[in-house]
Structure 1
């Protein structure tokens, strides 16, 4: 009787060991598959840059004539490089057009869009335009959610969190990329600043040399 019980216990132990090995292999295979899927997902490269705000275009000096066909003042005390400051006709949003060192007159290498209430020091320097709001050629505009941004721009971005805000950044750092090669500039980037999942500031263009 004791021998039968011992053999039975050995059999049960063997079955439990087999079950454990099968479960472990299954879990390992699942993790490997998930890792492969994630790696495949993360290898998607950002390839949807924007170059225009309304009718104003990066690195295209003639586009300012369509956007605002009057004399405009370059300001050198607002950001790290001289800018021209615009606002929509309701004075709710601002647009800064950055002119880097070496840029020709009315040629801009970076754009910034935000709410004027968030940067009140700009109020005395902005030039009012005819536009209801500012948006890019792909439809990006203030007030969008992260989901709406990623639907337009994809998932190849980096996230930086600062207290109650998130900064989402896309970048093209290959100078031979066909989307930016013609500009012969440093890396192209897009940055989106969100609070409570609402977009309140956009920067995009070329990195400062």
Structure 2
């Protein structure tokens, strides 16, 4: 009788252990699932940074000769760093080229593209160019859909939602990444500001030191 009770107790202990292991695994799975539901899932590394708008290139001072060969004025009171402000030939879009502290003349560390009507402060300071619109070397431009952006840049982005707009952000955080290492700059980013699923502003380049 005692042996039977001992076997029964061992069986119950085994069942309790199995139940505990099952419960622990289930709780861990729920935590992981909750994290996935509240954060952007990283499915692949962001590996397609852009460095150009039309013929103007980040951190390449000679590229302005092809983009706009005349002298242009650096503006100090529009953004967090001095910028040069351009517009397309129809004056619908603007391009800001950011010059960070320490950048040499005509070398830019960040670009911003948007609609001129959205920023009235720019209207009297923009320099008109020959371009119909502004776009990156991979074809990104204002008015695309989010699906078109992700078809080009992939799905490894983070989302920030603000009232009726959302911001999606791609980053390369490792300054030693071979795609940006040659620039010897801080992490790289691309931001798309969207309303109705279409970007009305695009900012990309290197983070301000």
CA shift, 1:206, in A, is 0.2
CA shift, 1:43, in A, is 4.2
Give secondary structure in 2 for the equivalent of 1:175.
coil
Give secondary structure in 1 for the equivalent of 2:148.
helix
Partner of 2:154: 154
Can you give the 5+ residue segments of structure 1 that lack an aligned partner in the other structure? 1-23
- C-alpha contact (below 8 Å) 2:93/2:134 kept by paired residues: yes
What pairs up with 1:5-24 in 2 under 5 angstroms? none
TM-score normalised according to structure 2 size: 0.81
C-alpha distance in 2 between matches for 1:157 and 1:51: 18
Can you give the 5+ residue segments of structure 2 that lack an aligned partner in the other structure? 1-21
Provide Cα deviations, 1:102-129, integer angstroms capped at 9, x if missing partner. 0000000000000000001100000000
C-alpha distance in 1 between matches for 2:198 and 2:186: 29
Q: CA RMSD in A?
A: 2.1
CA shift, 1:175, in A, is 1.2
- C-alpha contact (below 8 Å) 2:42/2:157 kept by paired residues: no
C-alpha distance in 2 between matches for 1:198 and 1:186: 28
C-alpha distance in 2 between matches for 1:108 and 1:76: 14
Provide Cα deviations, 1:81-110, integer angstroms capped at 9, x if missing partner. 000000000000000000000000000000
Partner of 2:174: 174
What pairs up with 1:1-209 in 2 under 5 angstroms? 42-209=42-209
